[in-house]
Amino acid sequence: MTTSGVLPIALLAAAAVQGGDDFLSLVRKAGNRREPEERVEYYTRALSAWAPGHGAGLLAACRFGRGEARYETGRFAEALPDLEGALEGDPGNARALFLRGRILLHQAYMADEPSPDAVRLLTEYAALKPEDPEGLIALGRAQLLARRFEAARASFGLAARLAPSDPRPRLGSGRAFRAQRRWVAAREELDSAEALAKSRDPDVPAERAAWSLAQGDEKGALAGLDRALPRQEELLLELVRSRALPVEVFERQAAAGRAYLGRGTLRENRGDAAGAREDYEAGCRHGDKSCCARAEALRKAPARKTEAAPPIRPKPAPKRRRPRLPEPESAPGERIYGS
């Protein structure tokens, strides 16, 4: 799903006809700007110039336009009230529903907590746009966080039918099965996702690591994370270079941080303090607070002193003992002199 940042053509046409109106002129300028920061500026000025005579529809459209632009720049806390205002004026604005739900899902994902509001908004969006797999994938993720595993699998299943070549629905279903401890079904979904995913996709080996760890296979979990982490770094770099949406970059950073935390924990449990600290520091650079705390703890931990082994001294030669003569059967006098 892409963002356009352009108001409906009918509204722009009205703005063009009534070009002498400051509000409508600013609306037109905002709609013609490609950079989201510029759109935020013009929509803000337009909203300041709005008057009741311009109508509630234009007010809702402007609030949506600014909210969408703020979403594109990663200013989520500022985007939420704009999108809420847009929905108050236009409850059928599906795009506003999706963006508001997506922001709440992002916040829930970063905090690793459920968001009933994200589930509600994305459910409403899926009802309005049932043919959009992105909406269903987002809904499934929100339902997973809310531990509504059956509903999540249903959402991912619909998304898989709409986008059969996309590995994300299969991966989501596998996570739901894993959470339900249905190991065989989880592995089957994971195998299907791996067959669809690109070789550089980091999420499949990361999920395989989680599956292995749930089975008590620490060696398999380490192997999965060893494959996932270089791919996480590569994908994150690609997202930054391509100027992807901040929500994608932030969530990829969080995924990388959690993967470093997982591998660092496994290494620390196996006695590899140096390797664990290296992972924790890498995860801390991605903003993972748990990694930062553990790296700091390892830095403060006293280093184990290795005492020098005492010098090897040659063992003294054993003392030569005189051979002990056997005791005579009779006293010497008896033997020599007789009795």
The model's pTM: 0.83
The pLDDT score that the predictor gives to residue 315 is 52
- From residue 27, how far is each of 57, 77, 83, 89, 96 by CA, in Å? 13, 23, 17, 17, 18
- From residue 170, how far is each of 105, 153, 185 by CA, in Å? 19, 9, 11
What lies within 8 Å, CB to CB, of 66 at 6+ separation is 39, 40, 43, 44, 47, 82
Tell me the pLDDT tens digit for each residue of 111-164.
Answer: 999 999 999 999 999 999 999 999 999 999 999 999 999 999 999 999 999 999
Burial grade of 78 (CB within 10 A; 0-12, 13-18, 19 or more): middle
DSSP 87-148: HHH-TT-HHHHHHHHHHHHHHHHHHT---HHHHHHHHHHHHH-TT-HHHHHHHHHHHHHTT-
DSSP 234-255: HHHHHHHHTT--HHHHHHHHHH
What lies within 8 Å, CB to CB, of 217 at 6+ separation is none
Q: What is the chain's alpha carbon radius of gyration, rounded to the nearest angstrom?
A: 34
Tell me the pLDDT tens digit for each residue of 257-286.
Answer: 999 999 999 999 999 999 999 999 999 999
Residue 264 token pair: 């660092």
The pLDDT score that the predictor gives to residue 12 is 53
- From residue 269, how far is each of 71, 222, 266 by CA, in Å? 40, 12, 5
In a domain, 12, yes or no: yes
Q: What DSSP designation does 53 have?
A: G
Residue 6 token pair: 């352009």
Q: How many domains does the chain have?
A: 1
Q: 27's torsion region: left (phi>0), alpha (psi -120 to 50) or beta?
A: alpha
Spatial distance between the Cα atoms of 42 and 25, rounded to a whole number of angstroms = 10
In a domain, 11, yes or no: yes
The pLDDT score that the predictor gives to residue 199 is 81
- Count of beta carbons in the 10 Å neighbourhood of residue 320: 6
The pLDDT score that the predictor gives to residue 320 is 57
In a domain, 66, yes or no: yes
Tell me the pLDDT tens digit for each residue of 207-217.
Answer: 999 999 999 99
In a domain, 27, yes or no: yes
In a domain, 256, yes or no: no
Domain that holds residue 43: 1-91
Over the chain, what is the mean pLDDT? 88
pLDDT above 90 coverage of the chain, percent = 78
Taking 70 as the pLDDT cut, the residues of the chain under it are 1-20, 303-339
In a domain, 38, yes or no: yes
The pLDDT score that the predictor gives to residue 7 is 55
The pLDDT score that the predictor gives to residue 200 is 81
